[in-house]
Amino acid sequence: MKNSIKNKHVLFVVENNSVPFDTRVWNEARSIRKICDNVSVICPKPKDENSHYKVIDNIQIYMYPNFIQGSSPFGLIAEYILAYLFISIYSFILYIKNPFHVVHLANPPDFLSIIYLPYKLFNVRIIFDNHDLSPELYIEKFSRKDLIYKVLMLLERISYTISDYAITVNESFKSIISKRYNINSNKITIVRNGPRLYIVKEAISNVKRKSKEHLVGYVGIIDNQDNLDELVLTVDYIVNQRNYHDFKMLIIGDGTARESIEELVKEKGLEDYFIFHGAEYNRNKLYRLLYETEVCVDPLTYNEETKILTAIKIMEYMAVGKPIVQYNIGEGMVTAGESSIYIRNNDKIAFGDAIIELLKNKKKRDVMGKIGRKRIEEKFQWAVQEKKLINLYYKVMS
């Protein structure tokens, strides 16, 4: 069985992020490279990248032009049309040069499976890696169920119908999809977004805190649905109503809403309490930055769409042993357990009170941080998830 996949060609395809910056896709590609000699990736080209092709860790990365990054429904349509064309062309050329046997599709978007339907005639296996539930994500972004929403539902159904196997990130996703399309649950494997602990250990060894002030950390995308505006209002409450000043909020990330968030910070007169680091794609640097913090947060509020999400940031916080403050999102609670304080009813005042409580109580911070680290080691780290992924690939090639 091992030899049957060793000589095959596995192609990973991702549209909404570049590789190796997409942590999940890059972890998966590197894991499959351990059992397969020929692994490739098709992804969009980053803005600061000059080449359309590079090789990292013996994985070939083909990067297509990325002219449009849509932030509105029509912008997304334009982005997806161009991506569809480029991915189709790149895939055809690659198949002619070096035929692939398995294609691993990362969503969103969900139209990628249509591109590879003709390749099934040549016995190419399709694995659909469901990172996000696109219909729910659309509602979260634009708060409406219109024609685009119906199209997303159709594309999701097609993706699961066409694919030979599927991967989801948590039990909530698997349950929703199984019921929504009456899919046999044996077709769906859960592979979580666990961190690589050896990278964490390497990054934080011998790190000594430089900041004399308390640091509260946030890492992630800064888009409208990520609720950084609520976090700014929470800081405003901490500073101007609770009169607590001995801290800074470290924001690690970038996105379409960053400019408006920085403007809101200035409008509230909170510039002295925020540090906007920008995106940090170097995992060693990211973990060192998080290790410098004393409390980490996720301001994503609870609703019918967010309650099923498992944020990568939560496991990154846990990996560096930091206590967390988040709203009582279902999957966030499943992941973090007692390493987090959970705020009900999307109450930003209670959110701020919890941050202050942890900043004032080192003993509680230490206990919660150790709980989170242990949960990562035993249940969620990538070494554990990798075994599930590799077993799935052996099943695909059997």
**Spans of all domains in the chain:** 2-193+382-396, 197-380
Q: Locate tokens 């649905």: which residue?
A: 225
- Residues 72, 280, 334, 233: what is their CA dihedral angle, to the nearest 10 degrees? -60
Cα angle 294, 310, 131; round to 5: 135
Mean pLDDT value of segment 78-97: 94
DSSP reduced 3-state for 380: helix
Residue 300: left (phi > 0), alpha (psi -120 to 50), or beta?
beta
Q: Do domains 2-193+382-396 and 197-380 have the same CATH topology?
A: yes
Task: Say if residues 190 and 165 touch (Cβ distance below 8 Å).
Answer: no
Per CATH, is 2-193+382-396 categorized as 3.40.50.2000?
A: yes
Spatial distance between the Cα atoms of 105 and 111, rounded to a whole number of angstroms:
10
Q: Which range has the worst mean pLDDT, 36-50, 236-250, 294-308? A: 294-308
pLDDT score for 213: 78
Residue 269 DSSP code:
T
DSSP reduced 3-state for 133: coil
Pairs from 66-71 (Cβ < 8 Å, separation ≥ 24) = 66/18, 69/256, 71/223, 71/256
Which strands make up the sheet holding 340-343, listed edge to edge?
Answer: 274-276, 247-252, 214-219, 295-298, 324-327, 340-343
Identify which of 335, 338, 324, 331 has the alpha carbon closest to the alpha carbon of residue 380.
335
253-263 per-position pLDDT tens digit: 998 899 999 99
For residue 92, pLDDT over 70 is answered with yes
145-161 per-position pLDDT tens digit: 888 889 889 999 999 99
Fold adopted by 197-380: Rossmann fold (3.40.50)
Give the distance, in angstroms, between the CA of residue 348 and the centroid of all CA atoms in the same chain.
24
Mean pLDDT value of segment 237-258: 94
